[in-house]
């Protein structure tokens, strides 16, 4: 194999596919990038057996072929080459020669034919299992939910994001056992219905690739076991998690005992200040929220380091509350919300709280309290 390309194009493509490269893998191949010729382009692939990313690089192809090369050393070499023009050739023993100006590297590669194949998802008969969505919308939905994905691998389904469509709206949900994050987007009429679970890691890597503009779209194709996100020049494939997600509708309290309206930033800043005193065990040192009347919320923390207390203006309907929370769970939600004012619903001082917009149903964050 032999080709010529630009350093900036190749470096960007390597950075993209490395998002799907395994670390400390038992297989040397899974720590590699696959390079293949493809018309007047080369295709780069990274695959960790769960997430696969492919992207094209414009190149002048002189000899066709394929090779797998260790991702980290290849990335480091390309980034530090002195000139924009790069010549790369691969001999019959899969030895790579990389030339840029007066610099010449020779590194060992592996047979590209032995690299694991990413499962095929897209096909002509999958029109009912495909959607088109704006990249900005999907990127926002991931950002508003992925922080609540569980890291507990013994609860496999909770390590994923549940993507649901009822034909008019698209909903993304994450639950880690202590909190829930839900984000909803209206998609108009006749949007395809779906209910799938996508690994959180795959969605986080996808978010890094998605563009944050109003023009770009992503084509999504899915089967019973795999999902493909296809954008201009880049595609990401992921396996789907099997089984049913938690029936989150059953844990959402519909008739709260207390409804509080509050300025989001005021609450966020107050909890953030209280959290300065919490050095280690947040269960032992929670942030407390106490209502003394229907116009004032007291935010406080008491630790071995010191104490904090401040009051925030609120409006309240219903019972007064006195409740403790993990400060990080609250801050994760408050920092991602854009609304100036939010509504928080409580179901007593031992039940979960629910953060909502004052109007509409675009987002919902449920947080369990810390029991005293």
Q: Nearest to residue 110, comparing CAs of 95, 128, 123?
A: 95
- Percent of the chain exceeding pLDDT 90 equals 83
Task: Tell me what the mean pLDDT of segment 27-48 comes to.
Answer: 93
Rounded CA-CA distance 218/226 in Å is 16
Rounded CA-CA distance 130/202 in Å is 18
Which CATH number is associated with domain 252-367? 3.10.150.10
Task: Tell me what the mean pLDDT of segment 267-291 comes to.
Answer: 84
Tokens for 37?
């010729």
Say what the pLDDT of residue 253 is.
83
Tokens for 359?
């109007």
Compute the mean pLDDT over every residue in the chain, rounded to the nearest whole number: 93
Order across the sheet with 307-313: list the strands. Answer: 307-313, 296-302, 287-293, 322-325
Q: What is the pLDDT of residues 308-360, one digit of tens each?
A: 999 999 999 999 999 999 999 999 999 999 999 999 999 998 899 999 999 99
Q: Nearest 5°: phi and psi at 128?
A: -75, -15
Say what the pLDDT of residue 121 is.
84
Task: Tell me what the mean pLDDT of segment 123-142 comes to.
Answer: 83
**What are the domain boundaries of the chain?**
2-114, 127-248, 252-367
Across 166-212, the runs of DSSP E, i.e. the strands, are 169-175, 179-186, 194-199
How confident is residue 39, by pLDDT bands cut at 50, 70 and 90? confident
Location of structure tokens 């190149």? 59
To which H or E segment does residue 152 belong? none
Fold match between 2-114 and 252-367? yes
Pairing of strands 66-70, 60-63: unpaired
pLDDT of 82 > 90? The answer is yes
On the CB side of 288, CA atoms within 13 Å amount to: 18
The least confident of 144-153, 159-168, 202-211, 275-284 is 275-284
Location of structure tokens 């194999």? 1
pLDDT of 136 > 90? The answer is yes
Q: Nearest to residue 70, comparing CAs of 34, 40, 99, 114?
A: 34
pLDDT of 281 > 60? The answer is no
pLDDT of 106 > 90? The answer is yes
Superfamily (CATH H level) for 127-248: DNA Polymerase III, subunit A, domain 2 (3.10.150.10)
C-beta neighbour count of 80 within 10 angstroms: 12
Q: Nearest to residue 267, comparing CAs of 242, 285, 287, 238?
A: 287
pLDDT of 126 > 60? The answer is no
Say what the pLDDT of residue 22 is.
77
Rounded CA-CA distance 107/71 in Å is 12
Task: Tell me what the mean pLDDT of segment 120-126 comes to.
Answer: 64
The domain made up of 2-114 is a member of CATH 3.10.150.10? yes
């Amino acid at each position: 194999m032999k080709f010529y390309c630009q350093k900036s194009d190749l470096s960007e493509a390597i950075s993209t596919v490395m998002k799907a490269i395994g670390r400390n893998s038992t297989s040397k191949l899974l720590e590699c990038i696959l390079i293949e010729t493809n018309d007047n382009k080369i295709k780069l692939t990274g695959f960790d057996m769960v997430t696969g990313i492919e992207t094209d690089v414009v190149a002048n192809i002189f000899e066709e072929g394929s090779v797998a090369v260790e991702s980290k050393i290849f990335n480091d070499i390309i980034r530090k080459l002195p000139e924009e023009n790069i010549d790369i050739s691969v001999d019959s023993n899969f030895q790579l020669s990389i030339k840029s100006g007066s610099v010449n590297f020779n590194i060992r590669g592996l047979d590209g034919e032995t690299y694991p194949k990413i499962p095929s998802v897209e096909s002509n008969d999958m029109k009912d299992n495909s959607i088109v969505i704006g990249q900005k919308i999907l990127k926002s939905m991931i950002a508003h939910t992925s922080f609540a994905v569980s890291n507990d691998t013994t609860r496999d389904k909770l390590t994923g994001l549940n993507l649901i469509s009822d034909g008019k709206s698209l909903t993304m949900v994450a639950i880690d056992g202590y909190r829930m994050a839900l984000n909803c987007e209206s998609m108009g009429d006749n949007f395809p219905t779906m209910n799938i679970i996508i690994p959180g890691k795959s969605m986080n890597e996808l978010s890094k690739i998605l563009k944050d503009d109003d023009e770009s779209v992503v084509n999504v194709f899915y089967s019973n076991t795999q999902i493909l996100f296809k954008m201009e020049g880049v595609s990401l494939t992921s396996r789907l998690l099997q089984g049913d997600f938690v029936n989150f509708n059953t844990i959402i309290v519909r008739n709260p005992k207390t409804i509080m309206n509050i300025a989001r930033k005021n609450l966020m800043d107050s909890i953030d200040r209280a959290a300065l005193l919490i050095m280690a065990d947040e269960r032992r040192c929670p942030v407390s929220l106490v209502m003394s009347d229907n116009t004032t919320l007291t935010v406080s923390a008491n630790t071995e380091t010191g104490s904090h207390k401040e009051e925030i203006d609120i409006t309240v309907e219903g019972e007064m509350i006195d409740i403790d929370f993990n400060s990080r769970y609250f801050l994760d939600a408050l920092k991602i919300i854009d609304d100036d004012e939010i509504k928080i619903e409580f179901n007593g001082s031992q039940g979960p709280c629910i953060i909502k917009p004052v109007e509409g149903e675009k987002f919902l964050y449920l947080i369990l309290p810390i029991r005293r």
